[in-house]
Amino acid sequence: MANTPQSQKRARQTERRTAVNKARRSRIRTFIKKVELAIAGGNAEVAAEALKTAQPELMRGVTKGVVHKNTAARKMSRLAARVKALAAA
């Protein structure tokens, strides 16, 4: 338990930030899942559109410090490759 006023305030701030980051991470996962479902469905146009909406969301997570830059880049690269392969097929 936090004892000093400063540590009590930090505990409150951490609680709020955790809730915000949790929501942001969940939102990013939802956008990624939409792309994956579109790929699984086999519709290249829907998958490409879902990828376009997921990309800024992932990058926003990077700027907010929820996701590491390289992690976001890796996820985007792999999703884009899968969408491209679907479009080519």
Task: List, for residues 27-42, the tens digit of each pLDDT value.
Answer: 999 999 999 999 999 9
Q: Which residue has the tokens 């009590």?
A: 8
Query: In the chain, what is the straight-line distance between the N-terminal and C-terminal CA atoms, in Å?
Result: 58
Give the domain range for residue 64. 5-88
CATH for 65: 1.20.58.110
**pLDDT in the model for residue 1:** 76
**pLDDT in the model for residue 70:** 98
Residue 50, token pair as written in the block: 């879902």
- The mean pLDDT of 67-79, rounded to a whole number, is 97
**What is the total count of domains within the chain?**
1
